[in-house]
Amino acid sequence: MDTDLPSDLARLRVLETWAAHYLTRIRARIAAVERQQAQQQPPAPTAAPPVRSAAGPGRARTPDWGLAEAGIGVPATEVHRGGCWARGRSLVAVSAERARAELAGGAQPCAVCRPDRVLTRP
């Protein structure tokens, strides 16, 4: 067992939340540096202009609900609200009905945005 981590669940959950938040900040900084570097380099020639999304120039629509599949840092499939900062990069947009079904089927609700509180209301 790792000796540099606390042994109680409450402090481990705090560390998990902090790490997820910090990872979001790191990814945002990486994206900013990549944008800055892309502006400094001349664009590569393309055959056709890029297709823009209907949500606005350069922005994808934020889904209302999503699933973060199990993987590194996510031990089980989690259901998130679309705007949750802890959702990670690989959020798969789903309908409210599918999100309810996933929760009923054993998927974990996000401990940050708590979609189960909204989705289980009558």
Q: What is the pLDDT of residues 31-73, one digit of tens each?
A: 999 888 888 876 556 555 554 445 555 666 667 888 887 666 6
Beta strands in the chain (DSSP E): 65-68, 78-81, 91-94, 108-109
- Amino acid identity at 55: A
pTM for the predicted model, two decimal places: 0.46
